[in-house]
């Protein structure tokens, strides 16, 4: 039977949970966002009555269609299903562009995800930005409760702002989106944000000294969310201070001197 791509349905939950359980050592977020994503450009690839792949397009500020959630069940990889889902999302992007809803597709991936990077470049995506994501363990810091604050545009120092593993272009529309999808915190005058329910933090004041001041607050939020580990997303320009960041207790998932998060973009108009 030929595979079909269709919108996800509530009855797909067991299949999605299985895919998530077999991805990233069971740490995949797909099952947690299943209800939130239903009915919002969330698609599955079905083969012989079994869902074996997923893909999602999320509308972001700046007329961006953000591609995420591309997964193929472990037992069905290497058969072209990932490329099938990717091509389907490109066609969806073209449709949304013709409707005037987006002007580009974007996505982020880990630097070792060579298949996704190669597929992106073959289909016209170009590298837009690079970031570092570093891990941290809550037990390495004395947690300190930060203050929740309401952000302003002045609090967003970067042209491209990480919110978890989504990236939005700075502007008033992005600020409104961030207010709905993230939480801002202040600890002793230093500010950071984290997506709602997530544990990947963005420091809004960069550098080892300011980050050192914020890590206890990040640790507190992570523990409140039931996590003993968390991540920090940082601009690629901080590469020269990587040794200092490591001395703070941060670590790279894989040893590299290069930025390990890549953001790609493909214009659709």
Encoding tokens for residue 204?
């809004």
User: Can you give the residue ranges of every domain in the chain?
Assistant: 4-102, 130-262
Q: What is the pLDDT of residues 18-31, one digit of tens each?
A: 999 998 887 789 99
Q: Are strands 229-235 and 200-203 parallel, antiparallel or unpaired?
A: parallel
Strands (E) across the chain are located at 4-7, 42-47, 50-60, 64-72, 104-110, 126-137, 147-149, 160-163, 166-169, 182-187, 190-195, 200-203, 229-235, 261-267
CA–CA dist 7, 40 (Å, integer) = 9
pLDDT of 102 reads 98
Residues β-bridged to residue 67 = 57
| Residue 251 C-alpha from the chain's centroid | 19
CA–CA dist 253, 269 (Å, integer) = 37
Q: What is the pLDDT of residues 152-175, one digit of tens each?
A: 999 998 899 999 999 999 999 999
pLDDT of 257 reads 86
pLDDT of 170 reads 95
User: Counting Cβ atoms within 10 Å, is residue 201 exposed (0-12), middle (13-18) or buried (19+)?
Assistant: buried
Is residue 89's pLDDT more than 90? yes
Of 92, 71, 91, give the one whose Cα is nearest residue 82.
71
The pTM assigned to this predicted structure is 0.94
Please state the rounded mean pLDDT for residues 254-263: 92
How does residue 205 score in pLDDT terms, banded at 50, 70 and 90?
confident
How does residue 1 score in pLDDT terms, banded at 50, 70 and 90?
confident
At the fourth CATH level, the homologous superfamily of domain 4-102 is Gcn5-related N-acetyltransferase (GNAT) (3.40.630.30)
Is residue 269's pLDDT more than 90? no
From 3.40.50, 3.30.70, 3.40.630, 2.40.350, which CATH number describes the 130-262 domain? 3.40.630
């Amino acid at each position: 039977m030929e595979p079909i791509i269709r919108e996800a349905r509530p009855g797909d939950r067991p299949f999605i949970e299985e895919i998530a359980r077999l991805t990233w050592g069971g740490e995949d977020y797909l099952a947690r966002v299943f209800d939130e994503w239903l009915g919002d450009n969330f698609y599955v690839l079905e083969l012989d009555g079994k869902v074996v792949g997923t893909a999602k397009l999320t509308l972001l500020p700046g007329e961006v269609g953000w591609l995420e959630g591309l997964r193929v069940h472990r037992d069905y990889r290497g058969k072209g299903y990932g490329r099938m889902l990717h091509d389907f999302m490109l066609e969806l992007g073209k449709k949304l562009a013709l409707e005037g809803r987006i002007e580009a597709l974007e996505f982020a991936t880990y630097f070792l995800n060579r298949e996704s990077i190669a597929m992106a470049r073959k289909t016209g995506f170009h590298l837009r930005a690079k970031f570092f994501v570093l891990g941290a363990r809550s037990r390495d810091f004395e947690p300190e409760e930060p203050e929740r604050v309401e952000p302003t545009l002045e609090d967003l120092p970067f042209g491209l702002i990480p919110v978890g593993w989504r990236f939005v272009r700075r502007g008033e529309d992005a600020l409104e989106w961030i207010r709905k999808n993230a939480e801002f915190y202040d600890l002793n005058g230093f500010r950071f944000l984290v997506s709602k329910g997530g544990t990947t933090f963005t420091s809004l004041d960069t550098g080892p000294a300011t980050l050192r001041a914020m890590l206890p607050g990040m640790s507190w939020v992570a523990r409140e969310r039931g996590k003993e580990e968390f991540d920090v997303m940082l601009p690629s320009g901080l590469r020269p201070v990587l040794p200092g960041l490591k001395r703070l207790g941060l670590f790279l998932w894989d040893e590299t001197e290069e930025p390990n998060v890549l953001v790609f973009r493909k214009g659709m108009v």
